[in-house]
């Protein structure tokens, strides 16, 4: 069998043909960016170099529009906040010290556009990518979460996209053996045509096992291992192939879709962990977006020398690939390691045991450049930093949109509110069964939450909690949140509300917040109004983190989320990670764990309906100002809940957020299959008390024996509390005095019926 | 002497560490068995845990069934060694011909992860002697291909001989006659789709009902 | 009535984990000489004579296959 050899555009050839026209514009490079590459190299780039620069200087890889703003995270992180941080922004994922010698790493990443094109594979490879990021830190991946957003629940395209995304997230994560412990499913018309798929992974390691992506040590070998390299995800770069080689290879323009193979990734995880454990790895990098272009240039620029890569050694899956294609391929399930020469044999033996393909493709040199050869000819010779880190930086125009004033002025005050018990009852059932508040069971039942045997809390709990140490019971919990309607109304406050909610979801489980990650999904950075939303949200988040004393240790920016000129609602997803010294003292959500529980509502309830779920569901309205945010209060609430957990004073707790008290009561009653009696305070407006979305509140169930001790602690610490009812295990109804009595069966069918009716 | 129970790892096996934890929880010693090693290392019983061996890409369990370790497992099973197949392990036992029937895609066509009530109908096997007849237990199911199917004659035989060991109270996957688990004629080889190793502690599972299977094996080995 | 067979295969450039799993297993089972395997789907449709090729192509392209990652062929066979 003869494979046609592909003639490559070599450095020598580039020097002798300086005037060759190159398709840089099709590759997304601007005139001045192309000129800068020529200036850096002192000649025109080869096809392979052009492919590397264009993909590494893209918005996705270079953060060129966000870089100037992202610095603010560093500026607002104090030394005290850094104390437990072992790795931060700039590494594959941030790492935090959780005590007892354990380090935990977590990160979220978007895979939005691919999930619109091919929902199942797009979502699946999103999970695969974030899991490899965690693995590349030296950690064992332990759990995943997914925050997914779609157009209207009843839209035809949502019926195409949502089931595919859910089966992709589930299919990949289940096959990897990672429990899915939570997340979000949100519907809004702005996500039609641009769904959001943000996947998060948590991993843990002993502190001494932390690995960073550094290619140090002259003579050390570069080993590529995992799947073979094919024509996946090189739609963009195929323009080079079609221009130069289409006649010889007959290659048509390729789709940008990647197909995932979770089985290969599962084996790769076990193989990597065995390699780490045996001390056979100096540095490691996963191959994700931009493939080998990214891995080689990042490893080399983080090291202390140059690097030589023999590109024709890369095991290929497709015939006739060009060097540019090999460098740009986004084939999944691949890793790149730096290994000392005396460990290469042992390294390859571990790979052989796991039947993982591994190939030595190059070495660290004492030069300064990243030099890549193809059949003995040099096709790339570049300073690696210029590819990986010295990309263009834009100071994009930032302007508050002229429409913002009108949006803020259009409050919910004029909306008609339900009057009287019958209308309140109807509103409650309507809300509980609305797509954003209804049970996520249809989705979460497709995810394995039991595997690994360490899941202590999972959906529908407020946060996902896993045990890290089986001896001591030390564990972590994670919650990701964002109410993008609040962010649209006020990006600064909205981002702080997202942070506050994620923080609250962690503390209601009994864990202490330690660190933050984010996934900032916005429209086009070329729109000054979008950049204003971005800057405001980022500042709100950074300032909020400083106030709460927890650092942002990693994140991801996704721009260009829009359909035509309509941007998505700004969606700065915030993930908070907390630690709990013994998962046995976690606080569950459901009522009825103890005989005789009093229900307390902690925090202040105000008349706050702008941007609320009620305004959205009942009136299709969005306008006004988001609820007041008070981070000092959130912190106090957290301290009280953690103390309550530590001293065994709480038998259940549930965060109040979208849908307010009514939603929280219904969910906690159904989770515990236990009825309750709610008595609102004297003179309270039942509509406001049941549906307001004031922040900084939680519903707790306190065993009667602990009631006095707990309320005295709240009063002493000046946390407002009010007794709003009792749990009644014998009852099969939620009774709201003077308003309505709703049977648990009726509530369950309203709450659980919605998604199956839409998607089965 | 502690009873040694083998736990097999194929490439793509996921629940091996959970199964080993469950074995340890009842006081037995888990022994890791590697798919490529045709040696049972002197264990007294074998468990094939859940997962997606070889990605389950051809058919669930179809490739794992030919792994080197399966030779001695099949021989030992024929000689009466207790063998338990959980989920993917059940699929492997069916593909290997140690148990009749096959497991196909769930009726819903979705992966299903749920806490499921089961009735223990046969308490004479090596893996269920600790249960009361008709005990109702709650154990998680989580699978894509969990729908048990067999020819009518085979189902009639299983029912007639009392070889349906576990039956779903609320069938989650369309299995014929609500069958969740079956045994061979001698009561030594048992396969079930639900995951007892995920129900050994109410902290991380819905109950500790799953311990009963592992305790049963221990009793069987000690009394044998 | 006619029988129509629609074959759906992963596109050549698209990763096919299913086919790879089979290809890797064959040598272990002692079958040598098989260098590659690709796994697809075959649909058999019983259709009225009134259904034209264009409609069949729409069924294949728009429903049976995912044209982003799969290619398809349609052929009529004798019933």
Alpha-carbon distance of A270 to A63, in angstroms, equals 32
Question: Rounded to 5 degrees, what are φ and ψ at A232?
Answer: -85, 135
Is a pLDDT exceeding 90 seen at residue B2?
Answer: no
Residue B57 to chain C, least CA–CA distance (Å): 5
Task: Examine the pLDDT at A257 and tell me if it is beyond 50.
Answer: yes
Residue A248: per-residue pLDDT: 40
Q: How many CB pairs under 8 A join A and B?
A: 83
Which strands form A94-99's sheet, in the order they lie side by side? A85-87, A94-99, A102-110, A196-206, A140-150, A180-187
Mean pLDDT within A6-21: 89
**For residue A434, is the peptide bond before it cis, meaning its omega torsion is within 30 degrees of 0?**
no
pLDDT digits 0-9 by tens, B41-82:
999 999 999 999 999 988 899 999 999 999 999 999 999 999
Confidence of residue A241 (pLDDT cuts 50, 70, 90): very low
The span from the CA of A292 to the CA of B112, in Å, is: 37
| A588 in reach of chain B (CB within 8 A) | no
Task: Assign A305 a pLDDT band (cuts: 50, 70, 90).
Answer: confident
The full length of chain C comes to: 79
More reliable by pLDDT, A704 or A89:
A704
Q: Give the pLDDT of residue A494.
A: 98
The answer to whether A171 contacts B111, with C-beta atoms less than 8 Å apart, is yes
**pTM across the whole model:** 0.94
Q: What is the per-residue pLDDT for A240?
A: 58
A588 alpha-carbon distance from chain centroid: 24
Residue B26 C-alpha, separation from nearest chain C C-alpha, in angstroms: 37
**pLDDT the model gives residue A236:** 59
Q: What is the pLDDT of residue A1?
A: 37
Number of H helices, E strands in chain A: 28, 28
Arithmetic mean of pLDDT, B101-108 = 92
* Cα A112 to Cα A149: distance, rounded to the nearest angstrom: 9
- What's the ipTM? 0.97
Cβ-Cβ contacts under 8 Å for A685 (sequence gap 6 or more): A607
Q: What are phi and psi of A278, to 5 degrees?
A: -85, 0
Q: Are A709 and A439 in contact (CB under 8 A)?
A: no
pLDDT at A238: 52
Residue A5 has pLDDT above 70, yes or no: no
Task: Flag residues of chain C having pLDDT under 70.
Answer: 79
Per-residue pLDDT of A622-680, as tens digits, reads: 999 999 999 999 999 999 999 999 999 999 999 999 999 999 999 999 999 999 999 99
b/e per residue, A183-214, with b = 16+ CB within 10 A? bbbbbbebbbbbbbbbbbbbbbbeeebbbbbb
Mean pLDDT of A157-180: 97
User: For the purposes of burial, counting CB atoms within 10 Å of the CB of C78, is it exposed (0-12), middle (13-18) or buried (19 or more)?
Assistant: exposed
Contact at CB, B57 and C29, closer than 8 angstroms: no
CB-CB neighbors (< 8 A) of C39 in chain B: 57-58
- Rounded average pLDDT over A103-127: 95
Q: Is a pLDDT exceeding 90 seen at residue B89? A: yes
Best B51, B68, B146, B203 member to test A by mutation, with max A CBs in 10 Å, is: B203
Q: Is B30 exposed, middle or buried (0-12, 13-18, 19+ CB in 10 A)?
A: buried
Please tell me the predicted confidence (pLDDT) of residue A4.
Answer: 44
The size of the A-C interface in CB pairs under 8 A is 38
User: Dmax of chain A from CA atoms?
Assistant: 88
Q: Which whole number is the average pLDDT over A435-455?
A: 98
| pLDDT for the residue numbered A249 | 44
> Mean pLDDT across chain A, nearest whole number?
93
Asked about A111 being catalytic, the answer comes back as yes
pLDDT of residue A213 exceeding 90, the answer is: no
Residue A242: predicted pLDDT? 41
Catalytic residue from among B94, B121, B195, B220: B195
Alpha helical stretches, state H, A250-368: 262-277, 291-302, 323-328, 344-353
pLDDT band at A246; cut points 50, 70, 90? very low
Percentage of residues of chain A with pLDDT beyond 90: 88
pLDDT of A239 over the 80 cut: no
* Residue-wise pLDDT tens digits, B124-168: 999 999 999 999 999 999 999 999 999 999 999 999 999 999 999
Calculate how close chain B gets to A540, using CA atoms only, in Å.
Answer: 37
Read off the pLDDT of each residue in A343-352 and give the average, rounded to a whole number.
98
């Amino acid at each position: 069998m003869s494979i046609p050899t592909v003639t490559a555009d070599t450095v020598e050839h580039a020097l002798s043909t300086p005037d060759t026209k190159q398709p840089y514009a099709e590759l997304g490079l601007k005139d001045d960016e192309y000129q800068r590459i020529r200036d850096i190299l002192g000649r025109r780039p080869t096809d392979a170099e052009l492919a590397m620069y264009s993909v590494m200087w893209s918005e996705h890889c270079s953060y060129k529009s966000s870089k100037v703003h992202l610095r603010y995270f560093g500026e607002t992180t104090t030394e005290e906040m850094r104390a437990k941080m072992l790795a931060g922004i700039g590494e594959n994922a941030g790492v935090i010290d959780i005590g007892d010698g354990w380090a935990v790493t977590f990160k979220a990443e978007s895979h939005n556009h691919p999930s619109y094109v091919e929902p199942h594979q797009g979502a699946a490879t999103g999970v695969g990518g974030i899991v490899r990021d965690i693995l590349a830190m030296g950690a064992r991946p332990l759990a995943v979460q997914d925050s997914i957003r779609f157009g209207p629940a009843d839209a035809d395209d949502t019926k195409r996209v949502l089931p595919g995304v859910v089966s992709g997230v589930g299919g990949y994560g289940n096959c990897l053996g990672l429990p899915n412990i939570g997340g979000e499913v949100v519907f809004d018309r702005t996500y039609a045509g641009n769904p959001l798929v943000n996947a998060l992974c948590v991993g843990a390691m002993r502190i001494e096992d932390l690995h960073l992506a550094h290619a140090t040590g002259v003579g050390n070998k570069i080993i590529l291992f995992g799947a073979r390299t094919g024509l996946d995800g090189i739609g963009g770069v195929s323009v080079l192939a079609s221009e130069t080689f289409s006649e010889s290879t007959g290659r048509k323009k390729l789709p940008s879709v990647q197909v995932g193979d979770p089985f290969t990734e599962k084996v790769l995880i076990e193989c990597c962990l065995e390699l780490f454990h045996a001390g056979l790895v100096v540095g490691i990098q996963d191959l994700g977006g931009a493939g080998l272009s990214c891995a080689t240039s990042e490893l080399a620029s983080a090291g202390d020398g140059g690097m030589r890569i023999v590109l024709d050694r890369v095991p290929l899956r497709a015939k006739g690939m060009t060097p540019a294609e090999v460098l740009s391929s986004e084939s999944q399930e691949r890793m790149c390691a730096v290994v000392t020469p005396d460990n290469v044999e042992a390294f390859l033996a571990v790979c052989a045991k796991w039947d993982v393909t591994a190939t030595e493709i190059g070495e660290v040199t004492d030069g300064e450049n990243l030099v890549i050869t193809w059949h003995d000819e040099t096709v790339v010779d570049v300073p690696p930093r210029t590819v990986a880190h010295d990309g263009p930086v834009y100071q994009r125009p930032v302007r508050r949109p002229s429409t913002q004033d009108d949006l803020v002025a259009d409050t919910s005050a004029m909306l008609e509110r339900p009057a009287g018990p019958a209308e309140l009852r109807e509103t409650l059932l309507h809300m509980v069964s609305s797509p954003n508040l209804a049970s996520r069971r249809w989705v979460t039942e497709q995810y394995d939450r039991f595997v690994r045997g360490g899941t202590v809390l999972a959906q529908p709990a407020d946060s996902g909690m896993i045990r890290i140490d089986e001896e001591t019971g030390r564990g972590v919990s994670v919650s990701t949140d964002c109410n993008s309607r609040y962010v649209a109304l006020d990006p600064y406050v909205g981002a702080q509300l997202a942070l506050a909610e994620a923080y609250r979801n962690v503390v209601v489980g009994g864990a202490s917040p330690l660190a933050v990650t984010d996934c900032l999904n916005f429209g086009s950075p070329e729109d000054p109004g979008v950049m204003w939303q971005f800057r405001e949200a980022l500042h709100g988040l950074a300032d909020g983190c400083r106030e709460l004393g927890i650092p942002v240790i990693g994140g991801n920016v996704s721009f260009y989320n829009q359909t035509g000129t309509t941007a998505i609602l700004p969606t700065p997803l915030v993930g908070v990670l907390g630690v709990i010294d013994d998962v046995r003292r976690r606080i569950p959500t459901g009522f009825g764990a103890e005989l005789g529980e009093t229900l307390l509502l902690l925090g202040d309830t105000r008349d706050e309906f702008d941007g609320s779920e009620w305004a959205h569901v009942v009136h299709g309205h969005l306008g006004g100002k988001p609820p007041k945010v008070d981070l000092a209060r959130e912190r106090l609430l957290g301290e009280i809940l953690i103390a309550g957990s530590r001293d065994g004073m709480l038998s259940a707790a549930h965060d109040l957020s979208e849908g307010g008290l009514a939603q929280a009561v219904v969910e906690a009653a159904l989770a515990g299959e236990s009825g309750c009696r709610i008595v609102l305070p004297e003179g309270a407006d039942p509509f406001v008390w049941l549906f307001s979305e004031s922040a900084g509140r939680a519903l707790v169930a306190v065993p009667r024996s602990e009631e006095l001790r707990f309320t005295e602690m709240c009063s002493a610490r000046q946390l407002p509390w009010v007794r709003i009812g009792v749990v009644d295990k014998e009852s099969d109804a939620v009774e709201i005095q003077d308003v309505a009595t709703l049977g648990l069966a009726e509530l369950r069918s309203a709450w659980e019926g919605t998604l199956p009716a839409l998607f089965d | 002497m502690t009873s040694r129970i083998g736990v097999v790892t194929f490439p793509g096996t996921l629940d091996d560490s959970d199964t080993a934890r469950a074995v340890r929880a009842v006081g037995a010693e888990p022994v890791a068995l590697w798919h490529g090693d045709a040696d049972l290392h002197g264990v007294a019983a074998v468990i094939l845990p859940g997962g997606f061996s070889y990605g389950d890409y051809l058919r669930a369990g179809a490739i794992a069934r030919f792994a080197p370790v399966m030779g001695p497992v099949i021989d030992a099973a024929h000689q009466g060694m207790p063998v338990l197949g959980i989920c993917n392990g059940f699929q492997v036992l069916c593909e290997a011909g140690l148990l009749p029937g096959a497991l196909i895609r769930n009726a819903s066509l979705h992966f299903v992860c749920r806490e499921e009530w089961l009735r223990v109908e046969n308490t004479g096997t090596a893996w269920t002697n600790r249960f009361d007849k008709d005990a109702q237990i709650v154990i998680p199911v989580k699978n894509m291909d969990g729908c048990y199917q067999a020819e009518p004659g085979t189902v009639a035989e299983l029912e007639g001989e009392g070889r349906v060991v576990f039956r779903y109270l609320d069938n989650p996957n369309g299995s014929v006659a609500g069958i969740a688990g079956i045994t061979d004629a001698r009561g030594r080889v048992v396969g079930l789709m639900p995951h007892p190793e995920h129900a050994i502690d109410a902290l991380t599972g819905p109950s500790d009902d799953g311990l009963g299977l592992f305790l049963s094996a221990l009793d069987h080995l000690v009394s044998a | 009535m006619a029988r129509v067979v629609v074959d759906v295969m992963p596109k050549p450039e698209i990763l096919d984990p299913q086919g790879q799993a089979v290809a890797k297993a064959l040598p272990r089972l002692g079958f040598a000489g098989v260098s590659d395997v690709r796994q697809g789907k075959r649909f058999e449709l019983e259709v009225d004579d009134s259904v034209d090729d264009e409609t069949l192509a729409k069924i294949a392209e728009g429903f049976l296959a995912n044209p982003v990652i799969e290619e398809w062929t349609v052929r009529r066979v004798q019933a």
